[in-house]
Structure 1
Amino acid sequence: MSSLISLSEGERKKYKEFFRKHRRSLFGRVMIYDRIVCVTLGGFSAGTILWQDAAFRASAEGYQLSKGDVSCRILIKTTSAVLSDSFQNLRRGPAFGAEAIFAEVAADRDDDYLAHVTFNGFVQTFNTAKLFGRIQKKEGGNVKDDGGKATTIAHERLESLWNPELTIRESLAALRGDQAFSAMFDSVRVEAVTLDRRAVRDEKFDKVLKRLTM
């Protein structure tokens, strides 16, 4: 199935030149390490379109995407079109709608992000999106609490399970075995996705997002 988003060679060249000029400022510690990407995965192009719609709206609102329980940091607006190849590579299956667990782990493992994202229905419809938190090993880490009991439990469990010596796969396995998070892994449409910063630096935008086997 072809993507609903297509870039001409000229557009690709323009985006690549943009990243070449600004990648230091865009992809330094402040920009990348302090954001999380909401990813939709599925066999229907609406998954990509939905993420792009969210990206564009959030960009207009200062990179903050908020609706209901949603509180997610995402990449800047310009990346959405450039990364369409990555989304195209990740989509699979016949389901209309998608679920994703996105884990971004800082290179120095001081900060970990985990999000459980569910999108259902039509392109503009948010069903559920929860950012379970930013995990820091420092005292009094910046872990978001929206006041909900389930989210509070999730935050507490994340802090207790956080281990900088574990790989991403090992971290996800630990979460999968924990009662507070096990339900996230029940759906056959749940996938874990990481962001490859080296691919960003190397301008290999079709390889930026990678699926992990859980």
Structure 2
Amino acid sequence: MPKIVDHDRYRKELLLKSFDLLAEKGYAAITMRQIAQGLGVSTGTLYHYFPSKEALFEQLVEELCEVDILNFSSRLTGKDLTEQTIAGFALFEEHRDYFLKQTLLMTDFYQHQRREGKDVGDVFKRVCDQAEKTMSVILGIDDPQILMLMMSLVDGLLMQELYGHRRVDYQSQAKLLSEMLTLYFEKHQLTPKNYEP
């Protein structure tokens, strides 16, 4: 009896396993052959699922975004805004190495595409739009400026760690952001669905 392969599941497994390889070597430096070797598959198998390194990377970014959204959704759903902020930042702190690797990998891809004279493509825009949309639903905040501020704060904290400035205390940052949002909502008489004064 022939073996039945769930191709979509296998493709996702290859993607997730390739993350550490890409993060370790960098997008620009690693080849499809090296990725295949690191995954323990033939180059032909890798090309069967991903027509190019760029396609593999873009699918990886989208897959990571889906996984991140599921992780954050499970942690934040059913809490008020203050609890959500603290829980979200706790997730960043617990998985700080993963998020730092993700940031470096995306930066490396961006630089590589620019050096090659290529457009960075829509992948970053798609995942940012998806993350913002999900945050809006979970947090009950419709204002895109507030959502952008929150996303930028997290990105900035990750960059501070990469600069080696200091190890970020995510819980202190979460409390500060929560207080700032609370004051902002009160001043502007806004009420997100999860806000409890």
TM-score calculated relative to the size of structure 2: 0.25
Higher RCO (CA < 8 A, seq sep 6+): 2
Structure richer in strand, relative to its length: 1
Structure richer in helix, relative to its length: 2
Which structure is larger by alpha-carbon Rg, 1 or 2? 2
